[in-house]
Structure 1
Amino acid sequence: MCGICCVVSLTSSQCKLHDHVYERLRHRGPDHSRDVIKRASNPEYSCLFSAHVLHMRGRLTPQPLQDDDGNLLLWNGEVFDGLMVEPEENDTKVILDHLSACKTPSDVLSVLSQVKGPWAIIYYQKEEHCIWFGRDFFGRRSLLWSWGLDESSFTLTSVSSRSPEPLSSSNCLEVPAVGVYRVDLKSWSQRESVKVEVYSWSYLDSDFTWEGLPSSVSFITNDSGLVLSSPVPPMNMSITDVEPNSCNSGQTSLDDLKELLKSTGKRETVCRLIDVLGEAVRRRVQHLPHQSNPDQAQVAILFSGGIDSMILAVLADRYIPPDQPIDLLNVAFKLQEPKTKQGSGKKAQNNKKEHASHDVVTSLQPKFDVPDRITGRDGLRELATLSPSRKWNFVEINVTQEELREMRTKNICHLVHPLDTVLDDSIGCAVWFAARGTGVVSEGTQQRQHISTAKVVLTGIGADEQLAGYSRHRVRF
């Protein structure tokens, strides 16, 4: 994912991007970095646009990308459908070409409504003195906002920091993925407050409330009542009738599933689902930039050996050339050492002997054989049977408690900011260590160090949400 940022100020002071934020943005886009400053005198404002590109498609296209009229685009996204993007083209250039032809807000919404894929956007229209920004319907790309204490500046950024200094960068909030937003800089410069126009997605609740923002910031629905076309229809709340005796017990067995698939209708439904998932994987793994070293993987999978990651691996195997390796990234956090109780006298002597014997046994047990590691190895063997010609790199990423504490404080807590729940932390830690891709690969009785070069990492995150896999879905539906 690219790193994009915009700092807007209505004062004559120069826009500044603090070093720690800039560094985190740069790490998101290692292939190209550039800053562009835009200034206007009537109305008076200045904007700093900073973009850091992770090259994923077509020719490397530097950002911020500017057209002949001075309009400027920062794009962190992927166009998988909706707008025509040829394999050799870069989607950032395609998006800007479409936006440059827009004459009205309705035209802008028409372009963004067509995009099928994850995205976050910051778009500056020079002649109108306005900035558009927002995220896709599902909020799959990060975008944060913060408003200056002087109420005359604001920042949009892919990533921020938990650091208490400066205060303006530590109070960032996620931009709600309820639509796209438009700030009229000319209008803002002429009044003490700023009104943000909202162009919401269709089907969404119009009573959404924005929280944690200064009183000088207000949100208004655009006067024209324009909306973005939603990429998904309203949720299907109906429940298919269950065939009698389709399951003999509370737990579904393999025989039950085989019996279920004997139904032509059910089998066709399953095939359609596999086709949809397969097409999604195909669009993600194909047309990547050329890799100079054919022995290095371009695609990796966050791999636990569970059903989600196994399905992704099988589908990826369909669409990635058979001579290219696939990295299976398996993250394991070191098992906690059992605590020993201290005693005295003869009982303590016996305890020491017992502990010594126990230590001999536990020392022989691998410290990283967590459940996901065990199932991951089982999954590797199954994949090797299904596709023996493929080189599967099972990358064991072993994380000690000391390294986890260090990296959580140094990097991870800032990257997940402003989210701060236990679930955010646990997912963030697993994804961060997987994305770093540093581990070992076993080859027979030998192990070698391995650093994944893949820019695309497939994850099964979201499968339970899409397929009603949580226990709460039983109650709700």
Structure 2
Amino acid sequence: MCGIFFQLSLSAAQFEKDKRTCEFLKRRGPNSSKELAFPAGDLSCHCSFSAHVLHMRGLLTPQPFQDDAGNVLMWNGEVFGGISVMPEENDTAIICQKLSSCKNSSETLALLSAIQGPWTFVYYQKAGDYLWFGRDFFGRRSLLWKYDAEIGVFTLTSVAAGISIPGQSDWKEVPAVGVYKVDVKAAAQTGSVSFELFPWAGNDMSSRVMNSVPSGCTFEMNQASLSLTSPVCPLNMSIPEEKVEVNPSLQVSVGNLEELLISKEKTEVVNRLIDVLSEAVRRRVHSLPFVTKDSSLFSSAQASIAILFSGGIDSMILAVLADKHIPVHQPIDLLNVAFKLKEPKKQPEKKLNKQKKKSNDSNTDRVRTQLSSPFDVPDRITGKAGLKELQDLNPERQWNFVEINVTQEELQQMRQERICHLVHPLDTVLDDSIGCAVWFAARGKGVVTEEMEQRAFTSSAKVILTGIGADEQLAGYSRHRVRFKMSGHEGLIQELAMELARISSRNLGRDDRVIGDHGKEARFPYLDEEVVNYLNSLPVWEKADLSLPRGVGEKLLLRLCAKQLGLGQSAVLPKRAMQFGSRIAKMEDGHEKASDKCTRLLYD
């Protein structure tokens, strides 16, 4: 992974980068920094490249990477399949070599279409003075753009500094709808930047591009109607013939899942999903820096993999599958974030005594348990329960359950110093809550408990597995139940199709910027191309049954996988959003809506 920055100046002049943006880019890539600049477009334009590399595989390869023909590549991605990259090879060098061998646009698109894994790239093609750039099908890596018409400078970057005035930012996320091509010579002649779009086949996303094109720029679909081949099959739109009756009175238990697994057909579907998801995890925990035993990086006591961990079904399954593919002597870090609960207001003694009389013993015990620590938020409680299940499944593994405790003072400080810039240009209350929670979790700084004693601990893992993509594909959100109740399976299918189409703009760019700020890389097994392919091929009733109650019906197929993998109570935990499970939502104005603009994200 890396932080990349590119500027095309339509004059021969060079311009200084924003110092704060440079700092953020360097944190994304702490292992190598390099710059490259040269005139282009018959010498009337100027191209500037800057890249900061986080070394993940093969030999460390500084970027920008320039080949003998003068082509330049900045590659922020991981090749997990589609084209061959050996463990000792670096994918940047391989991709550049293959791009330079492409004789026309069709071959370039065929190459990019074949790559399985997350990517963002900027590629200067010397022959013809063309600039190519874009994001993968799901937009798993961040890329922002803007155009300053006054000075004629077009900029692309992984991350950009935030703003202090509402509505004044020119930065926008590059839509993950295809790849873009700029004729640099034509831009020099016209004094303006125009993009040629090569979309993913079957996706009519021109409206998304139109709304996101930087002011002063234009775009058009390529005249040859060329497109990238979609890496996943279309969503199965089948609707069951029989009307489903809602059964909210069913008692939720692991036994419900055991009954459903009796069917041979159901077991086959479950086992197939376990297989493709296990392979997705294997690819992501094995594609790590090439380290030998005499290297200073080698330590069997340090984890190379961490998981954003709430104890919920998504993270539990990732932990179980990672356990299968990581040598047992290596620890796995489970990153569990909690925001300090506010102290309850002291009530008058008479009122307090009255309440005590009303409370029965069980309620009193429950309250005492909940208030035993100001960080005993729901995700901390389910996380500890999940840890116990994992320890039972593999007691030989060292599971580092990292309790990451955040006070309001630290939240406010780090939001202003770092997080507001990383979330930018997104700006809602939900972006603030999730962005802050993920940033603190990914930092991995907290405490672990060993033999009843706590000690300070900071995760060493450079790779962080996250469960994003499970809810979007398997109807995990409460809005899916609402849609199902209103419009049945047809409405639910439409909702799921929309979820996957917008995941790049709602979640993935933001989370990549936030996690990358720690010099760590986010990996998304649930968005592996083979996993999405398999889930897309299934009818919706195989994936979820929203006629069943919470804790069973949503993500039903994943719950059955959890039971098959040997998990217990975590398999029937209802979905709980991170902002509520970590209690960050309780720290701010309780009357805010998730979609409201968040003034806390403005830079002071």
TM-score, scaled to structure 1: 0.92
* Secondary structure, aligned partner of 1:226: coil
Distance 1:11 1:418, change over 3 A: same
Distance 1:415 1:245, change over 3 A: closer
- Kindly provide the amino acid, as one letter, of the partner of residue 421 in structure 2: H
State whether residues 246 and 260 of structure 1, in contact with CA within 8 Å, keep that contact through their aligned partners in structure 2: no
State whether residues 278 and 315 of structure 1, in contact with CA within 8 Å, keep that contact through their aligned partners in structure 2: yes
* Secondary structure, aligned partner of 2:190: coil
Q: Do residues 299 (structure 1) and 322 (structure 2) align? A: no
State whether residues 197 and 221 of structure 1, in contact with CA within 8 Å, keep that contact through their aligned partners in structure 2: yes
1:124-155 superposed Cα distances (whole Å, 9 cap, x missing partner): 11221121000001111000001013161110
Aligned equivalent of 1:431, options 434, 438, 454: 438
Tell me, in whole angstroms, the C-alpha distance in 2 between the residues paired with 1:376 and 1:111: 42
- Kindly provide the amino acid, as one letter, of the partner of residue 260 in structure 2: L
1:387 to partner: Cα distance:
0.3
Tell me, in whole angstroms, the C-alpha distance in 2 between the residues paired with 1:254 and 1:15: 62
Tell me, in whole angstroms, the C-alpha distance in 2 between the residues paired with 1:257 and 1:14: 63
- Kindly provide the amino acid, as one letter, of the partner of residue 426 in structure 1: S
Aligned equivalent of 1:395, options 379, 389, 402: 402
1:174 is aligned to: 173
Trace 1:383-462 onto structure 2 (pairs within 5 A): 383-462=390-469
Distance 1:240 1:98, change over 3 A: farther
Tell me, in whole angstroms, the C-alpha distance in 2 between the residues paired with 1:321 and 1:202: 40
Tell me, in whole angstroms, the C-alpha distance in 2 between the residues paired with 1:185 and 1:245: 60
* Secondary structure, aligned partner of 2:207: coil
Trace 1:178-257 onto structure 2 (pairs within 5 A): 178-205=177-204, 207-209=206-208, 210-211=210-211, 213=213, 216-240=216-240, 249=249, 253-257=253-257
1:66 is aligned to: 66
Deviating more after overlay: 24-33 vs 463-472: 463-472
Tell me, in whole angstroms, the C-alpha distance in 1 between the residues paired with 2:454 and 2:474: 38
Trace 1:344-363 onto structure 2 (pairs within 5 A): none
State whether residues 196 and 220 of structure 1, in contact with CA within 8 Å, keep that contact through their aligned partners in structure 2: yes
Deviating more after overlay: 441-450 vs 287-296: 287-296
Trace 1:31-430 onto structure 2 (pairs within 5 A): 31-40=31-40, 42-150=42-150, 152-164=152-164, 170-205=169-204, 207-209=206-208, 210-211=210-211, 213=213, 216-240=216-240, 249=249, 253-289=253-289, 290=291, 291-340=297-346, 365-430=372-437
1:78-123 superposed Cα distances (whole Å, 9 cap, x missing partner): 1100010111111111111100101111111111000011110100
1:14-58 superposed Cα distances (whole Å, 9 cap, x missing partner): 132111111100000111111111213724111110101111111
2:589 is aligned to: none
Distance 1:316 1:226, change over 3 A: same
State whether residues 8 and 15 of structure 1, in contact with CA within 8 Å, keep that contact through their aligned partners in structure 2: no
Tell me, in whole angstroms, the C-alpha distance in 1 between the residues paired with 2:41 and 2:191: 18
State whether residues 195 and 218 of structure 1, in contact with CA within 8 Å, keep that contact through their aligned partners in structure 2: yes
2:551 is aligned to: none
- Kindly provide the amino acid, as one letter, of the partner of residue 228 in structure 1: L
Distance 1:388 1:147, change over 3 A: same
1:191 to partner: Cα distance:
0.9
* Secondary structure, aligned partner of 1:237: coil
Tell me, in whole angstroms, the C-alpha distance in 1 between the residues paired with 2:108 and 2:463: 29
Distance 1:81 1:241, change over 3 A: farther
* Secondary structure, aligned partner of 1:107: helix
1:26 is aligned to: 26
Tell me, in whole angstroms, the C-alpha distance in 1 between the residues paired with 2:180 and 2:323: 40
- Kindly provide the amino acid, as one letter, of the partner of residue 433 in structure 1: F
Distance 1:241 1:362, change over 3 A: closer
1:192 to partner: Cα distance:
3.5
Is the radius of gyration larger for structure 1 or structure 2?
Answer: 1
1:300-348 superposed Cα distances (whole Å, 9 cap, x missing partner): 011111111110100000000000000111101000122347xxxxxx7
1:292 to partner: Cα distance:
1.3
1:13 is aligned to: 13
- Kindly provide the amino acid, as one letter, of the partner of residue 319 in structure 1: H
State whether residues 147 and 216 of structure 2, in contact with CA within 8 Å, keep that contact through their aligned partners in structure 1: no
1:472 to partner: Cα distance:
3.1
Distance 1:233 1:349, change over 3 A: closer
State whether residues 43 and 186 of structure 1, in contact with CA within 8 Å, keep that contact through their aligned partners in structure 2: no
- Kindly provide the amino acid, as one letter, of the partner of residue 173 in structure 1: K
- Kindly provide the amino acid, as one letter, of the partner of residue 457 in structure 1: I
Tell me, in whole angstroms, the C-alpha distance in 2 between the residues paired with 1:154 and 1:141: 20
- Gaps of at least 5 residues in structure 2 are 292-296, 355-363, 485-490, 493-604
Query: Which structure has greater helix proportion?
Result: 2
State whether residues 7 and 16 of structure 1, in contact with CA within 8 Å, keep that contact through their aligned partners in structure 2: no
1:433 to partner: Cα distance:
0.8
- Kindly provide the amino acid, as one letter, of the partner of residue 265 in structure 1: E
State whether residues 41 and 188 of structure 2, in contact with CA within 8 Å, keep that contact through their aligned partners in structure 1: no
Give the count of matched residue pairs: 466
State whether residues 149 and 216 of structure 2, in contact with CA within 8 Å, keep that contact through their aligned partners in structure 1: no
Tell me, in whole angstroms, the C-alpha distance in 2 between the residues paired with 1:417 and 1:230: 29
Tell me, in whole angstroms, the C-alpha distance in 2 between the residues paired with 1:41 and 1:374: 60
Q: Do residues 471 (structure 1) and 478 (structure 2) align? A: yes
- The two structures, once aligned, show a CA RMSD in angstroms of 2.7
Distance 1:370 1:349, change over 3 A: closer
- Gaps of at least 5 residues in structure 1 are 342-347
* Secondary structure, aligned partner of 1:224: coil
Q: Percentage identity across aligned positions?
A: 58
1:265-324 superposed Cα distances (whole Å, 9 cap, x missing partner): 110000111111111100000141224121000000111111111101000000000000
Tell me, in whole angstroms, the C-alpha distance in 2 between the residues paired with 1:129 and 1:41: 6
1:203-238 superposed Cα distances (whole Å, 9 cap, x missing partner): 101542422545531111111110000111221111
Tell me, in whole angstroms, the C-alpha distance in 2 between the residues paired with 1:368 and 1:242: 47
Tell me, in whole angstroms, the C-alpha distance in 1 between the residues paired with 2:466 and 2:215: 40
State whether residues 12 and 43 of structure 2, in contact with CA within 8 Å, keep that contact through their aligned partners in structure 1: no
Tell me, in whole angstroms, the C-alpha distance in 2 between the residues paired with 1:245 and 1:46: 65
